[in-house]
Amino acid sequence: METRRHPGIWPALLRIARWADAPAVLVGRAVSWLMLPLIAVIIFDALSRKFLRKLPFVIENDLHDYLNSPVFQDAEWHLHTIIFLGALGYAYSRNAHVRLDIFRPRLGARGRMLVELAGGILLLAPFLAIFSYYGWEFFLSAWVSDENSGPSNGIDNRWIIKFFLFLGPVLLFLSGLSMALRLCVRLFGPEELAAAADVDRIADSGFSAFN
C-alpha cells in the first residue's frame, strides 16, 4: 500500500544509494594499486637489512644508512594504513569484510537483512560518527602544526597519513548509508526492485566476495 502511494520513493532511494557508494568504490579500487609499491618497499627493506648493508661496497662507501633509512619503515606503515582505511568502504559495499557473528547464520534471509539494517543504524553509524570526528581533529592538528617525523628522519607531512583517519570512516559511513537504503528497498519496497537492491548476498550465509 505504501509503495502505491509513493511510487517514486523506492527508485529514488536506489539512486541515492548508488551515489553514496560511488566514492568508496572509486577510492577502494585506487588504493588497491598501492599493494604493489608496498610489496616492493617491504622486499627492498628486508633485503637491505639482512644482506645489502653488509656488502663491502656498501660499507666502504658509507651507504648503509641509506639502505636502513627510517623512510622505508615509515613508507611501509603509511602505505598499509592508506590501503586499509581507503578500502574499508569498498570492502563493506562488496560484503568482503570479516564477519564474526554466531547468531546471524541461524536466522532466515529476511532476519539477516534486518540484523544488517539494525546494526548499521544502531552500531555502525554512531561509531563512525565518533571516529570521523576525532579523525578530523587528528588531521587538523597535524595540518596546523605541520607535524613531521621528528628525530627519526622518516616521512614528513604527517597530515597526509592522518587525513585517512578521517577519510576512511567517512567512506565506510557512505557505504553503510548505501547498504541501509538498499536494504530498506529490499525489505519494504516493491518486489520488482528486489534484484536492483543487490543485497541478496547479505542474506546468503555462504557468500564470499573472493569466490
pLDDT value at residue 131: 95
Instruction: Flag whether 160 is in a domain.
Output: yes
Instruction: Flag whether 161 is in a domain.
Output: yes
Instruction: Flag whether 76 is in a domain.
Output: yes
pLDDT value at residue 202: 80
Instruction: Flag whether 209 is in a domain.
Output: no
Instruction: Flag whether 11 is in a domain.
Output: yes
pLDDT value at residue 89: 94
pLDDT value at residue 208: 57
For the entire predicted model, the pTM comes to: 0.84
pLDDT value at residue 23: 96
Residue 152 belongs to what domain range? 2-93+106-203
C-alpha cell at 36: 604493489
CA distance 75 to 82: 10
Instruction: Flag whether 100 is in a domain.
Output: no
Instruction: Flag whether 210 is in a domain.
Output: no
pLDDT value at residue 200: 83
pLDDT tens, position by position, 92-142: 988 887 777 777 778 888 888 998 999 999 999 999 999 999 999 999 999
Instruction: Flag whether 31 is in a domain.
Output: yes
pLDDT value at residue 3: 42
CA distance 67 to 20: 44
Q: What is the number of structural domains in the chain?
A: 1
CA distance 69 to 159: 21
pLDDT value at residue 1: 38
Low-confidence residues in the chain, pLDDT < 50: 1-6
